[in-house]
Amino acid sequence: MPEQYIELQEVINKQVEVPQPLLTEEQMEQITFTLIEALHTNKQVCLTYYKKGPCITETGLIQFVDSLGNLFVFIDEVFELKNKMRLSELIDVRFT
């Protein structure tokens, strides 16, 4: 029985899988600007990012941004865990 559940989960995962959206240079600059503003004002943001198939949306605070190193640190609202991510994984950032 457990094998059936594993196969079923794989089918469900493939259904939500999408190719990573390509952003323009202007969109990436706007995302970086919003992250830096959120960092300096300590405002909560809603992030949408690509994670090996599906697009995921989370809410939380930005703790660190390194635009040259292509990474940032995000503390999620639910578990208050630090998440280190690449800027290139981001699709959208908005203030909540």
* 10-38 confidence digits (pLDDT tens): 877 777 778 888 999 999 999 999 999 99
How many CA atoms lie within 13 Å of 34's alpha carbon, on the beta-carbon side? 20
Name the percent of the chain in helix, strand, coil, to the closest 5.
Answer: 35, 35, 25
CATH fold, domain 18-95, is: SH3 type barrels. (2.30.30)
pLDDT of 51 reads: 87
Whole-structure pTM over 0.85, yes or no?
A: no
Instruction: Write down the pLDDT at residue 1.
Output: 60
Higher pLDDT, 12 or 65: 65
